[in-house]
Amino acid sequence: MDTNKIYKITVRMPKELRENLTYAANKLNITSNTFMKISLYSYLNLSLFSLADAAPINISKIPKDRSVRINLIVDDELHTILEIHAQKYNLTINDLILYTILVSLNDYDEFIKNNINNFQSRLKIAIENKGISQAELARRSGLSRASITDYLKGKYKAKPGAIYSLAQALDVDTFWLLGYQNNNL
């Protein structure tokens, strides 16, 4: 194997999957390309030496829509692993990559749901503990209800001024709300 050989694979995927991939990668402070490679190595068990231990693939979960493209740059080793697994499961390399991205994004979503040390989870907790509605929080903080809903869904990152306003309206420490402190309200 020539470890210096680089492959550019054009991966076609649904627009929503691309958006979710970009969002998760940004939240983790990595590129989409790095997220995809980590997903592939994690799901495909790291190397050629552990191919026999690969988890089964549920082909029905692979999306059919291919409206968006992203380039994935891989080395010779990962390309060989992709070829072997694609052949083993009778899939295209594109389908194999899509499946591993889906698995990783589902794992990421589970981690976020179970991790209370992030802004989204802490905001939810603070609202519940304060016993107020989103409408009341919007009134107290001066933010729109739609913005608060978006923050709770993790759709948008709150700006520092908004975070401060929310913390004041909820009577919590700003750094706690951001997930930096583990102490309770």
Q: How confident is the model at residue 24, as a pLDDT? A: 87
Residue 1 inside a domain? The answer is: no
d(CA 101, CA 70): 12
Residue 183 inside a domain? The answer is: no
Q: How confident is the model at residue 48, as a pLDDT? A: 47
11 sits in which H/E element: strand 6-13
Whether residue 86 sits in one domain with residue 132: no
Question: Does pTM top 0.85 for this prediction?
Answer: no
- Convert the pLDDT of each residue in 99-147 to its tens digit: 999 988 888 777 766 666 678 888 999 999 999 999 999 999 999 999 9
**Helices (runs of H) and strands (runs of E) counted in the chain:** 9, 2
Q: What angle do CA 69, 75, 81 make, to 5 degrees?
A: 85
> With pLDDT > 90 as the criterion, what percentage of the chain qualifies?
50
Q: Give the number of other Cβ atoms within 10 Å of residue 5's Cβ.
A: 12
d(CA 119, CA 176): 9
Q: How confident is the model at residue 56, as a pLDDT? A: 67
Q: How confident is the model at residue 94, as a pLDDT? A: 96
Whether residue 24 sits in one domain with residue 106: yes
Q: How confident is the model at residue 144, as a pLDDT? A: 95
Q: Is the pLDDT of residue 19 over 60?
A: yes
Nearest to 141 by CA among 121, 125, 158, 117: 158
- Convert the pLDDT of each residue in 60-94 to its tens digit: 888 888 999 999 999 998 999 899 989 988 999 99
Residue 151 inside a domain? The answer is: yes
pLDDT confidence tier of residue 98, bands split at 50, 70 and 90: very high
- Convert the pLDDT of each residue in 25-64 to its tens digit: 887 778 999 999 988 887 876 544 444 455 667 778 888 8
Whether residue 144 sits in one domain with residue 56: no
Total structural domains within the chain: 2
Q: Which of 114, 148, 163 is the last residue of a domain?
A: 114
Whether residue 31 sits in one domain with residue 74: yes
